[in-house]
Structure 1
Amino acid sequence: MQELPNIILYAIPFFVASIVLEIYVLYKRKQKTYKTKDAFTSISMGIGNVLLGFLTKTIVLIAFFYIYNNFRLFTIPITWWSFVLLLFLDDFSYYWFHRISHECRLFWASHVVHHSSENYNLSTALRQTWSGGFYTFIFWLWLPFLGFHPGMIILQMSISLIYQFWIHTETINKMPKWFEAVMNTPSHHRVHHGSNPIYLDRNHAGIFIIWDKLFKTFQPELDDEKVVYGLVENIKTYNLFKIAFSEWFNMFKDVFSKNKSILSSMRYFIKPPGWKHDGTGKLSEDLKNEWLKDRT
């Protein structure tokens, strides 16, 4: 464990330098994708995530080590080939965590934070949840069960997060075709952050876009459909606590509202955002179908 560093902390100077460079490039291009309050809000959310990470990573490691020490099927060595294998298995876990975070309101309650900015730049990458770290790690529990050392898993999860930092930008249009075909890129991830109906709940990739293509959640960025960033219904606040917890409040408000069965109440935890027990809600697929109908 002592030989596997917390690379997120080492990456912070790189994050800061990259944001400064992006601001300079955008200034030269006369593009305005930064708003001071929004950027500081994103950075503040990121700082809160890092501070809470000292607690959440302890919880995660305890869970990983408990499974690894008591239930692992194999003992996978810490070597080059196991890191290559883990790269793909971790990314597979991330894809399903990310997809479920859009399709299940319990997980959306924490993930919505990352989509709450109406701007898209490198500072947006730092707008991270304050609550997700306490429970979203369950998507990775199968890895220590297989026999991957917990330190390896934490390290690879950090590598994935660092990779995803650079794709939060409009300064890069498209990468080479071979790269776009396999890897997650700024173009693919701009789609993911779009509130346009055609872009909703698409491109959940972490590092490899192949999972979205395999499981049919891929959507290319369209030349005639400029990405509109943010949420279908934006939060419209820079208050850190409202950003962090407003969806939790709204979800529990729906759960405990009157005139419905207990089963309907519980469904608010597992159904997608937008679902209503009385059938009045609209899911992302409903919005997409309406959009496609209007286009024809």
Structure 2
Amino acid sequence: MQVELLLLALAPVFLACVAWEMVYWRRRGRADVYSWPDTLCNAGLALLHQGADKLAWLLVIPLYQLLYQHRLFTPPGGWGGTLLLFLAQDFLYYWFHRASHRVRWLWAAHSVHHSSTRLNLSTAFRQSVLYPLAGMWAFWLPLAWLGFAPQQVVAVVLLNLAFQFFVHTQALPKLGWLEYLFNTPSIHRSHHAQNPRYIDHNYAGVLVIWDRLFGSYVAETADEPCRYGTVKPVHSVNPLWVNVVEWRDMLRETLAARSWRARLTLLFGAPEAAERAADRQAASRAT
């Protein structure tokens, strides 16, 4: 697929940007923005994710093709159809990303990306090997049913993710009028922050208009610097452990639950609701 070759060609660009950013912060006395254990963990997570992602696409493409055969419409060709596909995929990405913060089953995978206490360009590589199990691929199925060819859908998904590499940086300030239209480093910094002011906001992929439209936008402010990482810390730089720790906690708590309602909350409730249910469960056992 041509877009996969494009992303392969971009890999040296991504690595060069990471190297530049490391030098940039070291020259400014901020070597703490990067650490080798954290960066190597990010690289390991990226390699594992790429393998799982390729396998997942091989398994689910036949389902996309089946829906495409029963498509509802035939989108226009040329740039018009490409623009429609871009807008539709970016819209669905917003809801995938929002659900990944509000549904624990999805958060178990997505939390990997937020688990570092650092934010730099290498953080973009920090992806979960278990996204296919969480069901990320299911969010793009409507695109095939609407009439977009599966190969085009995969291409736009990958290009959307490639764009997001460049917003994982603290080196760039706010970008003026672009902040009203596009996801920017400032917007994404606040998304990665665990401060109460910022947490669970700014789900944009490429366009921030969805956040502004659906009330999930918050601006980064100079008077409240971002604190990165997850509310429940992950004290490991082992890529395998980082991938599974939240799944382990979720499944262990679910198996110990005493009612189906509690089990469903622990699996599919908001992460904070699941945490409260787990705390109640532990207190009940203690008494």
TM-score (norm 1): 0.89
Deviation of 1:133 after TM superposition, in Å, equals 2.8
Contact 1:4 1:151 in 2 (8 A): no
Contact 2:250 2:267 in 1 (8 A): yes
1:272 equivalent in structure 2: 270
1:216 equivalent in structure 2: 215
Deviation of 1:279 after TM superposition, in Å, equals 5.6
Deviation of 1:24 after TM superposition, in Å, equals 1.7
* Cα deviation 1:212-253 (Å, max 9, x = unaligned): 010000010011100000011211101112100111111111
* Cα deviation 1:149-205 (Å, max 9, x = unaligned): 111111111110110001000110111x21011100000000000011111100000
1:8 is aligned with what amino acid? L
* Cα deviation 1:252-290 (Å, max 9, x = unaligned): 1111114x21222122121011224876869xxxxxxxx
Q: Does residue 29 of structure 2 align to residue 30 of structure 1?
A: yes
Which of 150-159 and 8-17 deviates more?
8-17
1:103 equivalent in structure 2: 102
1:286 equivalent in structure 2: none
Partner SS for 2:167: coil
Contact 1:76 1:149 in 2 (8 A): no
Cα 1:92–1:156 shift into 2, 3 Å: same
2:167 equivalent in structure 1: 167
1:138 is aligned with what amino acid? A
Partner SS for 1:233: coil
Contact 2:100 2:106 in 1 (8 A): yes
1:226 is aligned with what amino acid? P
Partner SS for 2:272: coil
Cα 1:7–1:252 shift into 2, 3 Å: same
Which of 6-15 and 30-39 deviates more?
6-15
Contact 1:195 1:230 in 2 (8 A): yes
2:121 equivalent in structure 1: 122
2:201 equivalent in structure 1: 202
Unaligned 5+ segments in structure 2 are 281-287
Runs of 4+ in 1 over 6 A off after TM superposition: none
Q: Distance in 1 between the 2:262 and 2:278 partners?
A: 14
Q: Distance in 1 between the 2:95 and 2:172 partners?
A: 27
- Cα RMSD after superposing both structures: 1.7
Contact 1:7 1:158 in 2 (8 A): no
Contact 2:45 2:239 in 1 (8 A): yes
Q: Distance in 2 between the 1:79 and 1:141 partners?
A: 22
Identity among equivalent positions (%) equals 33
Contact 1:90 1:156 in 2 (8 A): yes
Q: Distance in 1 between the 2:30 and 2:245 partners?
A: 31
Cα 1:50–1:3 shift into 2, 3 Å: closer
TM-score (norm 2): 0.92
- Normalized per residue, the structure richer in helix is 2
Deviation of 1:8 after TM superposition, in Å, equals 2.6
Map residues 1-296 of structure 1 onto 2, 5 A cutoff.
Answer: 2=1, 5-32=4-31, 33-69=33-69, 71-134=70-133, 135-175=135-175, 177-258=176-257, 260-276=258-274
Contact 1:275 1:281 in 2 (8 A): no
Partner SS for 2:256: coil
Which of 117-126 and 17-26 deviates more?
17-26
1:288 equivalent in structure 2: none
